[in-house]
């Protein structure tokens, strides 16, 4: 089982580390890709994360899930065509995607939210409605292979849904 985390500077530290360690706890192999090739990404609270590989070297078919933490990272990622293409490929292939807070911004740029039910940080809910997503004011929303969460307070339920969707962990 393999997970891919996609981040850039300004990622929300807790939204990265909670699912990162939860998946590793379950034996999932986790790969971190950053927008800046071979440069560490710095979170909103000062934590730095070293990437495992640059985005252009990734093969989406090798992964079981794409995780997109929020913060300012998704806004930066959506400006990188290789990140948008990667997210689009995951969505088109029907691979599991898990996004927290502002994470759906990247999926919006990838054209992957039309008709999808989701939740997100309230600050971008109108942006999600503009791309024809069905915003729901709920903690966590699962719509097929898409799992979304509002923010940090929802991380325990988000991680539970993520682990369940992958068919791993204690049930």
Q: Which active-site residues does the annotation give?
A: 102
Give kind and range of the element (H or E) at residue 151: none
The CA-atom distances, in angstroms, between 104 and each of 47, 87, 161 are 22, 10, 17
β-strand pairing of 134-135 with 140-143: unpaired
**CA 38, CA 96: separation in Å to the nearest integer?**
26
Residue 99 CB contacts under 8 Å (≥ 6 apart), including other chains: 67, 68, 70, 74, 106, 107, 118, 120, 146, 147, 148, 149
């Amino acid at each position: 089982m393999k997970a891919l985390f996609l981040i850039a500077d300004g990622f929300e530290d807790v939204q990265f580390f909670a699912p990162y360690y939860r998946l590793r706890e379950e034996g999932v192999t986790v790969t971190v890709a950053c927008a800046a090739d071979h440069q560490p990404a710095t979170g909103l609270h000062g934590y730095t994360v070293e990437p495992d590989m640059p985005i252009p070297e990734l093969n989406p078919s090798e992964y079981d899930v794409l995780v997109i933490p929020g913060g300012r990272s998704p806004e930066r990622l959506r400006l990188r065509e290789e990140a948008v293409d990667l997210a689009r490929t995951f969505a088109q292939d029907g691979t599991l995607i898990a996004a927290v807070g502002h994470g759906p911004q990247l999926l919006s740029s990838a054209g992957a939210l039309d008709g999808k039910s989701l939740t997100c940080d309230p600050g971008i809910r109108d942006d999600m409605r503009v791309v024809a997503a069905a915003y729901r004011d709920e903690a966590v929303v699962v719509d097929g292979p898409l799992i979304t969460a509002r923010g940090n307070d929802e991380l325990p339920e988000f991680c539970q849904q993520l682990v369940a969707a992958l068919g791993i962990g204690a049930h």
